[in-house]
Amino acid sequence: MKSLMEQMNDAVSHAFAACGYDGKYARVTVSNRQDLCEFQCNGALAAAKQYKKAPMAIAQEVAEKLAESPIFAVAEAVKPGFLNLKVQESCLANLLCAMMDAADYGDQKTAHPKKIMVDYGGPNVAKPLHVGHLRSAVIGESIKRMGRFIGHEMIGDVHMGDWGLQMGLIIVELMERSPKLPYFDESFTGEYPLEAPFTITELEEIYPTASGKSKKDEAYKERAMQATYELQHGRRGYQALLNHILNVSVTDLKKNYENLDVSFDLWKGESDAQPYIPAMVQKMKDDGFAYLSDGALVVDVKEETDTKEVPPCMILKSDGASLYNTTDLATIVERMEKWHPAQIIYVVDKRQELYFTQVFRCARKTGLVDADTQLDFLGFGTMNGKDGKPFKTRDGGVMRLSALLSDINEQMYQKISENQTMNEEEAKQTAKMVALSAVKYGDLSNQASKDYIFDIERFTSFEGNTGPYLLYTIVRIKSILKKYEQSGKSADGKNILPAASESEKALMLEISRFHGMMEAAFEELAPHKVCAYLYGLANALNHFYHETKILAQEDAERQAGYIQLLRLCKGIMEACIDVLGFSAPERM
């Protein structure tokens, strides 16, 4: 289905051509003066240079041709050569009727579907999720959903940290507490216990304790580093402990991510990349890319065009141990061998941009990816408190993500309970949905690369540019549709009629902009553009609602047209919030 913008561009292009001008000048854009017109074309100004003719004369010729078009109600030339355009109400109504009948409301799927992996999440095992994990999870999930909506094959990977020093610290602390466990007996050849020797609560206490000790006790840290080395070089008991740590941690992580309505297709960790490291390193050596520098194995990745210093990418430390660089590169090898994606998107803190520049360049230089494989770094800014500093608990600690969600759920529950229209169970479920919209929309409505203030009071408001405001708008539509049905009427088989008011036309125009919006937002990896569209649509709907007697409309056909318009608006809003990762309740 052709979008409204495509139809307008075609019509204006044909008009330019009919007047003897190149159709390339016929680009239609949304008007920057909505008080004068809905759309505009400035092509006559550019065409004047080529054809050595006054732009106003060209614009007038084209406007006369467009008077014959069924698409435009107004096409007028204004000085110094602009074309001011208004859409014909019947054309707009026909487009929306077609959207009602089409899959995904007629939004065109990408012409070139790709297999795309999204690396997001990045939690460390044995540690609880904290607010610092929020942005990666929320942004990554929306990118994955946007890609799927427009027809790409999207694969989300949590990519856990499960291979570094924290593993050695946990092993050493467990050894101190329970030295007789079979995992620490190198002569043990039997089967290790199926059940982990710790719970998630104990595990979450073990790591910070061990970390604290390592900062004060150098010998303790040395033991942890040795345990890490032995784990990475295949010590059987330590690898069995790693499996326990992963099983206990992943079970807990899944619960926490489910509360965020975030899911992953792959639950891979750094440890999964280990089997690929030896061959990868050997190939880098054999091909002449890797060399020793102060005992460490490195690959040069600087380029002549660099304006800043880009250090070599370190592959192995002087003691032969691997680093994050090593496992990230080996993960690329695994992904290319198993899934062969056309694109990999990394959703990570923007402060890691230099690191990923090194990794991407190294992967390309050493041939770990095909020449046409796209590697994208989507760096996000910091989530700050009202003081402008990274978000903390009241006592200055790092807040657990579960605690943050619980606090916001409780606030929403108190607000919803004040209405006394729901039983306790429904109020709790509704509060959870509204709270999630507050958190996710509060984050996603900001451009990902920018820092933002996490203002719970503002995010949970039912007014303004917030998730709860959007849900309230959807619930308002649901309420109208329900009352219409309860009155015994049916809009089945009825069409959306040409707009009878400015507010109705404005709503219809906002709906029409859905076409292509999702693909453009995904192309730029910009969920905030979906948010901006949603907010504009909600405002247009509410303006129309306040100016129009919908359920009191006496003309049955006009009323049925209103109902179909609301159904379309509701469907599109629900499609958008689903892409952003939340949903709307039946009532609020």
**How many Cα atoms within 13 Å fall on the side-chain side of residue 332?**
27
Q: How far is residue 357's CA from residue 362's CA, in Å, rounded to a whole number?
A: 8
Contact (CB, 8 A) for 40 and 83 = yes
Contact (CB, 8 A) for 406 and 431 = no
Q: How far is residue 352's CA from residue 417's CA, in Å, rounded to a whole number?
A: 43
What Rg value do the Cα atoms of the chain yield, rounded? 29
pLDDT attached to residue 398? 76
Strand partners, 379: 348
Residue of 139, 171, 144 lying closest to 156 (CA atoms): 144
pLDDT attached to residue 338? 97
> What stretch of H or E contains 51?
helix 43-51
pLDDT digit string, tens, across residues 113-130: 999 999 998 999 988 888
Handedness of CA 189, 195, 208, 404 (dihedral sign): positive
pTM higher than 0.85: yes
In the three-class reduction of DSSP (H, G, I as helix; E, B as strand; rest coil), residue 316 is classed as strand
Q: How far is residue 152's CA from residue 144's CA, in Å, rounded to a whole number?
A: 9
pLDDT attached to residue 108? 83
The backbone torsions φ and ψ at residue 199, rounded to the nearest 5 degrees and listed phi first, read -100, 170
Residue of 124, 240, 269 lying closest to 171 (CA atoms): 240
List the structure tokens of 464: 């303004």
pLDDT attached to residue 12? 97
Contact (CB, 8 A) for 12 and 66 = yes
Q: How far is residue 322's CA from residue 314's CA, in Å, rounded to a whole number?
A: 9
Regions of the chain where pLDDT drops below 50 = none
Q: How far is residue 316's CA from residue 229's CA, in Å, rounded to a whole number?
A: 13
Q: How far is residue 38's CA from residue 75's CA, in Å, rounded to a whole number?
A: 11
